[in-house]
Amino acid sequence: MPIEIVCKIKFAEEDAKPKEKEAGDEQSLLGAARGAAAPRDLATFASTSTLHGLGRACGPGPHGLRRTLWALALLTSLAAFLYQAAGLARGYLTRPHLVAMDPAAPAPVAGFPAVTLCNINRFRHSALSDADIFHLANLTGLPPKDRDGHRAAGLRYPEPDMVDILNRTGHQLADMLKSCNFSGHHCSASNFSVVYTRYGKCYTFNADPQSSLPSRAGGMGSGLEIMLDIQQEEYLPIWRETNETSFEAGIRVQIHSQEEPPYIHQLGFGVSPGFQTFVSCQEQRLTYLPQPWGNCRAESELREPELQGYSAYSVSACRLRCEKEAVLQRCHCRMVHMPGNETICPPNIYIECADHTLDSLGGGSEGPCFCPTPCNLTRYGKEISMVRIPNRGSARYLARKYNRNETYIRENFLVLDVFFEALTSEAMEQRAAYGLSALLGDLGGQMGLFIGASILTLLEILDYIYEVSWDRLKRVWRRPKTPLRTSTGGISTLGLQELKEQSPCPSRGCAEGGGASSLLPNHHHPHGPPGGLFEDFAC
């Protein structure tokens, strides 16, 4: 059976003191390595916290009715604060905004907008050849015919060029424009640029953004004034109705900025013959908010063209790009007024691609073509009024001047007058109605009202939580191991195995007293060794 030898060693008081000092030094080193002192308890923290009511509810002292009432008051105030904070957060997450309108001061010079006009009739009847009528049968509704005027089923003509047809058969501005004045100066057809729209060949005044014409005064006579002959005798006869058949007479006009392409079939307004139409404009500069307050499109930081074929992004350019992609996907070609270098659609499928594909495009945020509004936009507000022309005296004069009869003048002539109401611009800016600073201010007010706290109070609570959590984690990670040898009050207990390990004789063949004399002190030497130490052994 195993034998255990217990040795009790008792040292004198003078010998115990240095050992206690060494043990204290060791404990101090371990304590310094393990961390600071034990964390504060909740009562101590509550008595020193700046959170109002916490010291009275959780501080040191006896528990009673008064402390219970303080705890209920603290919990009620905390619940009220959290309710108010949740309401403020919900209001902030709705991203409310408002629109501020600021009229700008009058400027000495204002940039005049671009003015695009199109004759509602797309093709001049007298300019159509037999081949044109044959190729444009789906667009015009006119039946194909041979040179003798008879309809033929086996007619063969060369492949058409849609750009050439529109350019050749469209109304020519040099023939339509009878007079032109801008700010008191004469202008002509050379001041207009050719542009293609869904109405065919159209013309834009002041189209170049690099050399925009200025307007130096407001009111009539300070803008663009033109007289046009719409040439109703050139309108196509209606043989049968198509989706492109027009029953109107007059022109379509759109006033827009130079960076924006005309989208006249949706954004233009009509001007009738026999009237002088006055268009009073005012420049409006709109600023919208990006995400998360709105859905506007911010400008590219690289200043590169965002849409192929256009120098700047606009809703009109985006819509034209979407229409082009839809037409390319369906018909593998593009229409004349769409940007790009792809093949132009032939006339026989022109109307099919224009109607079935373009009408299927959606304009909403969930549709296949979503074009967000740019964050910075310039548009022109319009006020339109008109008077009837010509009067009896001017009708006879114009008839003699242009070698026409009075009826023709009344049915074909019109005057368009576009001018600035005043040289002032109107700035409308979308602003956040409830921002982060307002939210923090309201939260701070509610926090101070209900619980008397601040940001530093929250930091105090977080610091205390960290202190307690860190101390408990250290206790788990650094739990001390049970030693083989324990010492209490100068008494040591040694096991047999430890005695064997300390013995210089590993085997039982050692001489008797050889190992014992090295392990245990001599009991027979006189008491009181040098130094005044007393040792007593019991085995």
Higher pLDDT, 107 or 461: 461
Q: How much of the chain, in percent, has pLDDT values that exceed 90?
A: 30
Contact 418, 218 (CB under 8 A): no
- Among residues 232, 177, 225, 252, which one has the least CA distance to residue 411? 232
* pLDDT level of residue 193 (50, 70, 90 thresholds): very high
| Residue 106, preceding peptide bond in cis (omega within 30° of 0) | no
- For residue 533, is pLDDT > 60? no
In tens, the pLDDT along 251-284 reads 999 999 999 999 999 999 999 999 999 999 998 8
For residues 501 and 310, what is the distance between their CA atoms, to the nearest angstrom?
Answer: 93
206 CB neighbour count, 10 Å cutoff? 23
Of 63-67, 82-86, 408-412, give the lowest mean pLDDT range: 63-67
Does residue 31 have a pLDDT over 80?
Answer: no
Structure confidence by residue, pLDDT tens digits, 108-133: 778 899 999 999 999 999 999 888 88
* Band of pLDDT at residue 355, cut at 50, 70 and 90: low
Helix/strand/coil (H/E/C) assignment for every residue in 364-403: CCCCCCCCCCECEEEEEEEEEEEEECCCHHHHHHHHHHCC
* pTM for this prediction: 0.68
| Calpha distance 412→407 (Å, rounded) | 9
What mean pLDDT comes out for the span 380-393?
92
**Does the structure show a pLDDT above 80 at 35?**
no
Look at residues 327, 254, 167 and name the one whose alpha carbon lies nearest to residue 319: 327
pLDDT at 475: 85
The CA distance from 390 to 398, in Å, is 9
**C-alpha to C-alpha distance for 207 and 47, rounded to whole angstroms:** 77
Number of C-beta neighbours around residue 223 at 10 A: 24
Residue 533: strand, helix, or coil = coil
Picking from 230-244, 325-339, 402-416, which range would have the lowest pLDDT averaged per residue? Answer: 230-244
Length of the chain: 539
Q: Residue 173 above 80 pLDDT?
A: yes
* Domain regions of the chain by residue span: 40-96+434-470, 104-120+172-230+252-296+375-431
Query: What tens digit of pLDDT does each residue of 148-157 get?
Result: 544 555 567 7
Whether domain 104-120+172-230+252-296+375-431 has CATH 2.60.470.10: yes
Residue 248 pLDDT exceeds 50? yes
Q: What value does the mean pLDDT of the chain take?
A: 78
Q: What is the CATH number of domain 40-96+434-470?
A: 1.10.287.770
Q: Place 534 in a pLDDT band, splitting at 50, 70 and 90.
A: very low
